[in-house]
Structure 1
């Protein structure tokens, strides 16, 4: 169980779409305004976990072409969220970025987030510590995952919000928002590179 908990900590704390958007929205809009988005990520993560536990995710991802569709949707949505972060406080013709995303956007990200499926699959199907008690193992794994997931994401949100609370000049805050958005794009590029390596 301790090995499982260590694996959860390592896999969740590393930058991915969830933590990057959490920190980015925290920096752009502040802690309280972005908290509902993190609630959405939490709900979405648990839905993905349930899909993995029940085998639904394996069935869906075995459909030819669905992985590619998931990747395209994920990249497109991450680009949109990166634009929201970069343009926070700005008013431009093609996007309004004056308020933080809510619960449903967090749920949607996790629903199409390849890392969420990869992490949950490796954690749920691996590290078997109670092979004769499936329900006990699934229940305790869910408890451990959430016990680690919640403080990590709140810490990332707090770190981003700490920048927001500094009341920096508008130009400096805009530069930070753009930097956070570019960091997200780096994660997207890494995901695409990783996917291409798997295909090769």
Structure 2
């Protein structure tokens, strides 16, 4: 594999990972609400969940879904339902920073599951593998996944840090409510986009 292919894979991974999407919005929200360390647990789950999905798609999972249309449709609707549930929770948030006894931050398993229900993750996996690998070469998929792993983690982590920056500078609950509601509406808008694409 040439250096130019590795650079193109890395650029694709960066563009796909750092661009706004449902997981990125949850990372931003986690940064505004919880300690950075808790947000990074979600990031780690989301990253490893994505890498597992990416390798699965590289091994032909997407082809299996194409053969079983109802399963692909069920995943789509399940993903949209999960994203709408998260956006509703975010919209109803009161903007108060949590106490120790308060509701837990989204964790590792939420991050991993969210990637499997995230249409953006499926699209990024299928298009990246289609563009930069030969479907029959597992070693290419593994190299691509190895590049994706740190890029995805750092990209999602930067959204948590952006949220933490907002938290440090905006302590008033009314401002955090506004931010949460804007993020919730953006998350819901991604669901509408997925419904009508």
Give me the TM-score of the superposition, normalised by structure 2. 0.84
Q: Name segments (4+ residues, structure 1) moved above 6 Å.
A: none
2:56 is matched with 51
2:145 is matched with 142
Give the conservation status (yes or no) of the 8 Å contact 1:24–1:181. Answer: no
Q: Which is worse superposed, 42-51 or 19-28?
A: 19-28
Number of aligned pairs?
187
Give the conservation status (yes or no) of the 8 Å contact 2:84–2:188. Answer: yes
- Aligned alpha-carbon RMSD (Å): 2.3
1:17 lines up with 2:22 in the alignment? yes
Residue pairs, 1:182-197, within 5 angstroms? 182-194=185-197
Distance 1:4 1:90, change over 3 A: closer
User: What is the CA-CA distance between 1:86 and the residue it aligns to?
Assistant: 2.6
Give the conservation status (yes or no) of the 8 Å contact 1:74–1:113. Answer: yes
- Mapped to 2, the partners of 1:64 and 1:5 lie a distance apart of 32
1:178 lines up with 2:176 in the alignment? no
Distance 1:87 1:30, change over 3 A: farther
SS in 1 for 2:171: coil
1:169 is matched with 172
- Mapped to 1, the partners of 2:69 and 2:142 lie a distance apart of 31
SS in 2 for 1:65: helix
- Mapped to 2, the partners of 1:78 and 1:30 lie a distance apart of 23
1:155 lines up with 2:158 in the alignment? yes
User: What is the CA-CA distance between 1:167 and the residue it aligns to?
Assistant: 4.8
- Mapped to 1, the partners of 2:45 and 2:19 lie a distance apart of 19
2:32 is matched with 27
Stretches of structure 1 that go unaligned for 5 or more consecutive residues are 92-96, 195-200
Deviations 1:21-54 (A, max 9, x none): 2112222334223222112111210110121121
Residue pairs, 1:8-157, within 5 angstroms? 8-89=13-94, 98-128=103-133, 134-157=137-160
- Mapped to 2, the partners of 1:164 and 1:53 lie a distance apart of 39
User: What is the CA-CA distance between 1:144 and the residue it aligns to?
Assistant: 1.4
2:99 is matched with none
- Mapped to 1, the partners of 2:157 and 2:15 lie a distance apart of 16
